[in-house]
């Protein structure tokens, strides 16, 4: 039973570029949430996708966008990268959205913006 997988593991981009991160949820899960975790901080909620729609969004600018595919996998896109976007990006999956369902996290993608 595969857990949550994310790709790539590490990524280095230049300021102003665009990046796409990918996530496959745990088998049986249909909801994907994305988080940004700066060094030494707790994860900050970016948005959640359920039934291929963005259901909830945290306090992140429109440069952050996403998508969910029919197979429940998801992408996080960040445009016009800033140095401050350097962080660990975590994907978490759960079943049928909502806060009451336990989330399983992927290993994360480490993004470095230079």
Partner 1 sequence: KNQVEQSPQSLIILEGKNCTLQCNYTVSPFSNLRWYKQDTGRGPVSLTIMTFSENTKSNGRYTATLDADTKQSSLHITASQLSDSASYICVVSANTGGFKTIFGAGTRLFVKA
Residues contributing to the site for partner 1 (CB under 8 A): 4, 33, 35, 40-45, 48, 55-56, 88, 90, 92, 97-100, 102-108, 110
CB of 16 to partner 1, least distance (A): 26
CB of 43 to partner 1, least distance (A): 5
Q: Considering the complex, state which of residue 36 and residue 81 has its C-beta at the smaller distance from partner 1.
A: 36
CB of 39 to partner 1, least distance (A): 10
**Spatial distance between the Cα atoms of 109 and 74, rounded to a whole number of angstroms:** 14
Q: Considering the complex, state which of residue 79 and residue 96 has its C-beta at the smaller distance from partner 1.
A: 96
CB of 13 to partner 1, least distance (A): 18
Q: Considering the complex, state which of residue 63 and residue 96 has its C-beta at the smaller distance from partner 1.
A: 96
Buried b (16+ CB within 10 A) or exposed e, 43-79: beebbbbbeeeeeeeeeeeeebbbebeeebbbbbebe
């Amino acid at each position: 039973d595969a857990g949550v997988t994310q790709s790539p593991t590490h990524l280095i981009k230049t300021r102003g570029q665009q990046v796409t991160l990918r996530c496959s949820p745990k088998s049986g899960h249909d909801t994907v949430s994305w988080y940004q975790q700066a060094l030494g901080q707790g994860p900050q909620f970016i948005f959640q996708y359920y039934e291929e729609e963005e259901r909830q969004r945290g306090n992140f600018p429109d440069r952050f966008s996403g998508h969910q595919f029919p197979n429940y996998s998801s992408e996080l896109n960040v445009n016009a990268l800033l140095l401050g976007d350097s962080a660990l990006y975590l994907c978490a999956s759960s079943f049928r959205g909502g806060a009451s369902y336990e989330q399983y996290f992927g290993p994360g993608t480490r993004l470095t913006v230079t």
